[in-house]
């Protein structure tokens, strides 16, 4: 930068004046550098992008997005070309921007960057605030801030509407995932449980993020509500067999149960209001059953 001998104040306006047209041009350049051809190689990115982007700018999503057993938005993904997350497929699509998951595809991401393709990595949000910030940033980066803000507003309103965290009676809820897993307060589902007015068994076990929930601990905790993850894939695996355990079946028959479809919350996005609504309903059923202790109903 050239230093002016006239002193600080006086030369400043002239300097700005000299750079103003340049900056205007730059701004226009940035605006036109808004990516037009966007490829997603991650299921969660697929779903977020399908929510925020106009169809013509999203030129490819993963094959999982179009798989009804994996994604709730399979219908929307129909007609969009699919990829399998491999660098050679991506390169042929000539994208302006690739969106990936931060921890799951490091090799592919590194390779794409080495080939000069810009990649945006999405973190896994561990709270709704982080999700909202992620949607906001995405909106800005992709030039769809308006759509993003509309979605964020809608999401916030729904969250507020469904907020039961101030209710005095807080039932103890246990989240029992496929493969005996559970999640704690520093995860999205943990926060949803809190918002639905529930206490989380994971807190008693000292689990902040992810952990195992042995069946004994589940039984001993004597939860008021059990949230079971239902996997929509019907393929046999050891992961599903714990649900057949006689002790668990007995517990499920005696306790309010919410069956959450894993497609709804395996990815973070504004659709999280659906599982939240389910949790709120379950809590309401529990609360009703307190006053009429005759029957305990589980959803069909």
How far apart CA 31 and CA 144 sit, in angstroms, is: 12
| Part of the chain binding other proteins (CB under 8 A), chosen from 19-27, 51-59, 79-87, 241-249 | 241-249
When asked if residue 4 is in the footprint of other proteins (CB under 8 A), the reply is no
Please state, in angstroms and rounded to a whole number, the distance separating the CA atoms of residues 187 and 199: 14
One residue of 33, 161, 245, 288 binding other proteins per CB under 8 A: 245
Question: CA-CA distance, 14 to 9, in Å (whole number)?
Answer: 10
* Helix%, strand%, coil% for the chain, nearest 5: 50, 15, 35
Given the DSSP bridges, would you call strands 82-83 and 119-122 parallel, antiparallel or unpaired? unpaired
Cβ proximity to other proteins: between 124 and 210 the closer is 210
Query: In the complex, what is the shortest distance from the CB of residue 45 to other proteins, in angstroms, rounded to a whole number?
Result: 18
Q: Which of 127, 242, 259, 261 binds other proteins (CB under 8 A)?
A: 242
Question: How many residues in total does the chain contain?
Answer: 300
Nearer to other proteins (CB atom), residue 30 or residue 253: 253
Which parts of 202-250 are beta strand (E)? 210-212, 225-230
Q: Is 243 in the site for other proteins (CB under 8 A)?
A: no
169 binds other proteins, rule: CB under 8 A? no
Residue of 222, 253, 288, 296 that binds other proteins (CB under 8 A): 222
> Are 71 and 77 a contacting pair, CB within 8 Å?
yes
180 binds other proteins (CB under 8 A): yes
- Distance (Å, whole) CA 51 – CA 53: 6
Residue 246 interacts with other proteins (CB under 8 A): yes or no: yes
Among the listed ranges 9-17, 99-107, 123-131, 215-223, the one in contact with other proteins (CB under 8 A) is 215-223
Cβ 49 vs Cβ 38: under 8 Å = yes
Binding site for other proteins (CB under 8 A): 178-180, 211-212, 214-217, 219-220, 222, 233, 235-239, 242, 244-247, 250-251
């Amino acid at each position: 930068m050239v230093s002016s001998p006239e002193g600080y104040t006086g030369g400043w306006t002239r300097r700005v004046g000299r750079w103003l047209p340049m900056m205007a041009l730059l701004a226009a350049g940035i605006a036109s550098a808004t990516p037009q051809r966007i490829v997603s190689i991650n299921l969660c990115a697929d779903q977020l992008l399908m929510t925020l982007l106009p169809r013509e700018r999203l030129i490819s999503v993963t094959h999982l997005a179009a798989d009804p057993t994996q994604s709730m938005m399979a219908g929307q993904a129909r007609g969009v070309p699919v990829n399998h997350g491999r660098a050679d497929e991506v390169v042929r699509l000539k994208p302006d921007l690739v969106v990936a998951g931060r921890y799951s595809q490091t090799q592919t991401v590194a390779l794409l960057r080495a080939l000069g393709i810009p990649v945006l990595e999405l973190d896994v949000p561990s709270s709704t605030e982080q999700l909202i910030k992620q949607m906001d940033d995405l909106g800005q980066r992709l030039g769809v801030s308006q759509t993003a803000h509309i979605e964020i507003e809608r999401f916030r309103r729904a969250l507020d509407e469904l907020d039961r965290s101030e209710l005095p009676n807080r039932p103890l809820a246990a989240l029992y995932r496929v493969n005996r897993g559970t999640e704690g307060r520093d995860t999205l589902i943990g926060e949803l449980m809190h918002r639905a007015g529930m206490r989380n068994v994971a807190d008693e076990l000292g689990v902040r993020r992810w952990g195992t929930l042995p069946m004994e601990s589940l039984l001993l905790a004597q939860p008021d509500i059990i949230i079971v993850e239902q996997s929509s894939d019907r393929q046999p695996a050891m992961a599903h067999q714990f649900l057949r355990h006689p002790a668990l079946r007995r517990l499920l028959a005696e306790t309010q149960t919410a069956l959450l479809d894993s497609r709804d919350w395996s990815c973070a996005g504004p659709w999280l209001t659906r599982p939240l609504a389910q949790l709120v309903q379950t809590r309401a059923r529990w609360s009703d059953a307190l006053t009429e202790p005759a029957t305990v109903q589980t959803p069909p």
